[in-house]
Chain A
Amino acid sequence: DGGITQSPKYLFRKEGQNVTLSCEQNLNHDAMYWYRQDPGQGLRLIYYSQIVNDFQKGDIAEGYSVSREKKESFPLTVTSAQKNPTAFYLCASSMGRENSPLHFGNGTRLTVT
């Protein structure tokens, strides 16, 4: 079955540590996205990539970094520079056309203490 997999589901880190969230898709989608979801707010775009070896900042890229070395993979690193890293992180992919719906992974809940 095709899909998009995020791991781990829950992640705990100490303040000051970098942490990398995994996202893998086997849908053969060109475009991949990272969103952050906080209570009472809409999804906010962190980074997106429309093609391998290229990515763009979203609305809240500060304190985050990504790579897109393979079409299937789009890992997100939450660095110690991110002021409020505790959140629910969602990875998504799409065919990249304007009417293409996003397919989401099941999310990673990151808690930083």
Chain B
Amino acid sequence: GQNIDQPTEMTATEGAIVQINCTYQTSGFNGLFWYQQHAGEAPTFLSYNVLDGLEEKGRFSSFLSRSKGYSYLLLKELQMKDSASYLCAVMDSNYQLIWGAGTKLIIKP
């Protein structure tokens, strides 16, 4: 079967750095997406990785290792507004998105 694993919940301090991991086992790979979702709201697109390496976008960076079936989302200079769930999704060989259950990130002052 296809599987995406993310930690259920993480806690970090305002101003710090946090890394949210995502491991996947899918039938084929055509890219990995990260989304942010505030409670009761729409998920919003953060990043897309299809090649190995690090993609940096402001305070957020996303890393991919296809050989290890592994990605992480790195959030720097954490702000209270970063409290949200972070969803990892992998596009499989049929171009279908497989979603992780999401990581709820709690930021403390």
Residues of chain A touching chain B, judged by Cβ–Cβ distance below 8 Å, are 40-45, 90, 98-99, 101-107, 109
Contact = CB atoms under 8 A, between A and B. Distances in A.
Contacts, number: 47
A109 B97 CA distance: 22
Contacts of A44: 99
A35 to B, nearest CB: 8
A25 B31 CA distance: 25
Interface residues of B, number: 25
B9 to A, nearest CB: 11
Interface in B8-23: 8
A103 B45 CA distance: 7
Given A42-B4, A45-B96, A101 B101 contact: no
Contact of B48 (A41, A90, A99, A104): A99
Contact of A105 (B42, B96, B100): B42
A45 B8 CA distance: 21
Interface of B: 4, 8, 30-31, 33, 35, 40-45, 48, 50, 87, 89, 91, 95-102
A43 B8 CA distance: 15
B87 A106 contact: no
23 contacts: A40-B101, A41-B101, A42-B89, A42-B98, A42-B99, A42-B101, A42-B102, A43-B43, A43-B89, A43-B99, A90-B42, A90-B43, A99-B31, A99-B48, A101-B48, A103-B45, A104-B42, A104-B43, A104-B44, A105-B42, A106-B42, A107-B41, A109-B40
A45 B40 contact: no
B42 A101 contact: no
Report which residue of A98, A101, A103, A109 has the largest number of chain B beta carbons within 10 angstroms of its beta carbon: A101
A107 B40 contact: yes
A104 B43 CA distance: 6
Nearest to A105: B42
Contact of B41 (A40, A101, A106): A106
